Amino acid sequence: MSTEGKYIYCIIDDHEEKDLGMEGIGSRGDRVHTVVFEDIAAVVSNSPIVKYPISKENTLAHMKVMEKFMDDYTILPAKFGTIAGGSKRRNPQDRIKIEILMARYIEVKDLLTRMTNKIELGLKAVWMDMKTIFKEIVEENKDIEILKKRISTGNTAKSLSHRIELGEMVKKALEAKRIEEELEILKMLDGAYSELRQNKIFGDNMITNSAFLLEKHRIDEFDNIIEQLNSAYKDRIRFKYVGPVPPCNFVELVITLKGDEDERGKESTSRI
């Protein structure tokens, strides 16, 4: 099998094969172009069949290609590092056309319909002053306040077990407070988006790490609500607002390409 394949960035609603006038991932100068079946197209560039490191340079190259199409096309993002190789029967371009676009045509069309005129926006919210937050937790939870006093005045023998207990109590209270304030923030945004994805939280000070799928004509409405949030929480919470970006949190197209038998007689696969 060839060591050259085609790197897949996304699938779009287009019926015409074209050179897109930009270079793809890998710093080789490979041109980004489309592979078309009927009215759907894979956006690709030539690439060695390698595992690309998740570096800033590579992820930006991947995103840059997708972002080029956001204004004019509906896009279905492909997972970073997706490469279609060739087989004995078909070259990479034919495999994309036949084994992906044609074979999954109905599924892809359904996903494109779902994503039509929609974009993704991201919102992270973090507490600005954790000393204030921990002070509020103590004031709002009498059991924590009592245990803190017991530790400061108690004997050393029980101090360690009390400190462990206090740590667990503070952890639970902080999580409850985070959920409460996250719900307040999301409530203000309710109705302005179609779908919500709540992603993993990082650090004690992060309240929410959310992605929103919304119709393009509602961006101004969403922007206005973010301004209201900034104003309402200006001395308490810092918001990081990102987008529009490709809807990577809401679309995951996974395809298995079956390869030729290798030298040991085992079938090789590549996941897309």
Mean pLDDT of 68-85: 89
Give Dmax (Cα) for the chain. Answer: 79
Q: Does pTM top 0.85 for this prediction? A: no
d(CA 227, CA 3): 50
Cis peptide before 53 (omega within 30 of 0): no
Structurally, at CATH architecture level, domain 118-245 sits in 2-Layer Sandwich (3.30)
Taking the domains of the chain in order of start, what are their residue ranges? Answer: 4-104+253-271, 118-245
pLDDT in tens, 206-223: 999 999 999 999 999 999
pLDDT in tens, 12-69: 999 988 888 899 998 888 899 999 999 999 999 999 989 999 999 999 999 999 998 8
Q: Which residues of 129-157 are buried (b: 16+ CB within 10 A; e: fewer)?
A: eeeebbeebeeebeebeebbeebeeeeee
Residue 143: the pLDDT is 67
CA nearest neighbour of 268 among 49, 8, 9, 102: 49
- CA angle, corner 33, sides to 18 and 61, nearest 5? 140
Q: 162 exposed, middle or buried (CB, 10 Å; 0-12, 13-18, 19+)?
A: middle
